[in-house]
Protein backbone atom coordinates (compact mmCIF):
# COMPACT_ATOMS: atom_id res chain seq x y z
CA UNK A 1 0.00 0.00 0.00
CA UNK A 2 1.54 3.36 -1.00
CA UNK A 3 2.11 5.90 1.74
CA UNK A 4 2.52 9.66 1.43
CA UNK A 5 4.04 11.52 4.38
CA UNK A 6 2.23 14.71 5.39
CA UNK A 7 4.35 17.72 6.34
CA UNK A 8 2.84 20.76 8.06
CA UNK A 9 4.02 24.03 9.54
CA UNK A 10 4.41 23.62 13.28
CA UNK A 11 2.56 26.89 13.93
CA UNK A 12 -0.26 27.23 11.39
CA UNK A 13 -0.62 23.70 9.95
CA UNK A 14 -0.03 24.98 6.38
CA UNK A 15 1.06 22.31 3.90
CA UNK A 16 3.99 22.83 1.51
CA UNK A 17 3.65 23.13 -2.25
CA UNK A 18 4.46 19.99 -4.33
CA UNK A 19 8.11 20.96 -4.95
CA UNK A 20 8.81 21.50 -1.26
CA UNK A 21 6.86 18.32 -0.39
CA UNK A 22 9.09 16.32 -2.75
CA UNK A 23 12.23 17.85 -1.21
CA UNK A 24 11.03 17.02 2.32
CA UNK A 25 10.43 13.41 1.25
CA UNK A 26 13.92 13.24 -0.29
CA UNK A 27 15.48 14.61 2.91
CA UNK A 28 13.82 12.08 5.21
CA UNK A 29 16.90 9.82 5.06
CA UNK A 30 19.50 12.58 5.38
CA UNK A 31 21.84 12.12 8.33
CA UNK A 32 21.88 15.67 9.68
CA UNK A 33 21.94 16.61 13.37
CA UNK A 34 21.06 20.02 14.75
CA UNK A 35 20.87 21.85 11.43
CA UNK A 36 18.55 24.38 9.82
CA UNK A 37 17.88 23.89 6.10
CA UNK A 38 16.16 26.28 3.66
CA UNK A 39 13.86 24.30 1.39
CA UNK A 40 12.48 25.28 -1.97
CA UNK A 41 11.87 28.59 -3.62
CA UNK A 42 9.01 29.24 -1.20
CA UNK A 43 11.54 29.46 1.72
CA UNK A 44 10.25 26.79 4.09
CA UNK A 45 12.58 26.13 7.03
CA UNK A 46 13.36 22.63 8.25
CA UNK A 47 15.07 21.82 11.55
CA UNK A 48 16.93 18.51 11.64
CA UNK A 49 16.93 18.04 15.42
CA UNK A 50 17.39 14.42 16.42
CA UNK A 51 18.51 13.17 19.80
CA UNK A 52 18.60 15.78 22.56
CA UNK A 53 17.65 18.52 20.07
CA UNK A 54 14.13 17.19 19.56
CA UNK A 55 12.32 15.95 16.48
CA UNK A 56 12.47 17.29 12.96
CA UNK A 57 10.33 20.43 12.70
CA UNK A 58 8.98 22.44 9.76
CA UNK A 59 7.84 26.05 9.34
CA UNK A 60 6.24 27.95 6.49
CA UNK A 61 7.85 31.20 5.29
CA UNK A 62 5.62 33.29 7.58
CA UNK A 63 6.69 31.42 10.74
CA UNK A 64 10.45 31.04 10.25
CA UNK A 65 11.18 33.46 13.09
CA UNK A 66 8.80 31.66 15.43
CA UNK A 67 10.51 28.34 14.74
CA UNK A 68 13.99 29.66 15.48
CA UNK A 69 12.75 31.41 18.64
CA UNK A 70 11.01 28.22 19.79
CA UNK A 71 14.11 26.11 19.21
CA UNK A 72 16.41 28.59 20.91
CA UNK A 73 14.20 28.80 23.98
CA UNK A 74 13.81 25.02 24.28
CA UNK A 75 17.21 23.71 23.12
CA UNK A 76 19.51 26.74 23.27
CA UNK A 77 21.00 25.67 26.61
CA UNK A 78 21.62 22.10 25.42
CA UNK A 79 23.66 22.85 22.28
CA UNK A 80 24.90 25.71 20.12
CA UNK A 81 23.17 24.62 16.87
CA UNK A 82 19.81 26.33 17.59
CA UNK A 83 21.70 29.65 17.70
CA UNK A 84 23.05 29.35 14.14
CA UNK A 85 22.21 32.42 12.08
CA UNK A 86 20.96 32.46 8.47
CA UNK A 87 21.30 32.26 5.59
CA UNK A 88 20.91 28.55 6.08
CA UNK A 89 22.41 26.10 3.58
CA UNK A 90 20.33 24.41 0.95
CA UNK A 91 20.60 20.63 0.87
CA UNK A 92 23.17 19.11 -1.44
CA UNK A 93 21.94 16.97 -4.33
CA UNK A 94 21.89 13.26 -3.70
CA UNK A 95 21.66 12.56 -0.01
CA UNK A 96 19.39 9.94 1.43
CA UNK A 97 20.86 6.54 2.24
CA UNK A 98 24.06 7.39 0.36
CA UNK A 99 24.73 10.22 2.81
CA UNK A 100 24.05 7.96 5.79
CA UNK A 101 26.31 5.26 4.35
CA UNK A 102 29.17 7.75 3.81
CA UNK A 103 28.94 9.02 7.38
CA UNK A 104 28.85 5.47 8.68
CA UNK A 105 32.00 4.57 6.72
CA UNK A 106 33.75 7.68 8.05
CA UNK A 107 33.36 6.55 11.64
CA UNK A 108 29.90 7.56 12.76
CA UNK A 109 28.50 10.90 13.78
CA UNK A 110 31.76 12.82 13.94
CA UNK A 111 31.85 13.00 17.73
CA UNK A 112 35.01 11.95 19.53
CA UNK A 113 34.67 8.66 21.34
1-55 pLDDT, tens digit each: 888 899 999 999 999 999 999 999 988 888 888 999 999 889 999 999 888 999 9
What's the structural domain count of the chain? 1
In a domain, 27, yes or no: yes
pTM (two decimals): 0.77
Is residue 21 in a domain? yes
Secondary structure of 80-93 as H, E, C letters: CHHHCCCCCCCCCC
107 lies in some domain: no
Domain with 48 in it: 8-84
Is residue 66 situated within a structural domain?
yes
Closest CA to 90 of 34, 59, 46, 56: 46
Amino acid sequence: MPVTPVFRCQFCAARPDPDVQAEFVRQMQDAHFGRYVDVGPSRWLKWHGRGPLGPTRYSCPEHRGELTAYLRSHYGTVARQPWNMGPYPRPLPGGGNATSAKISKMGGSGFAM
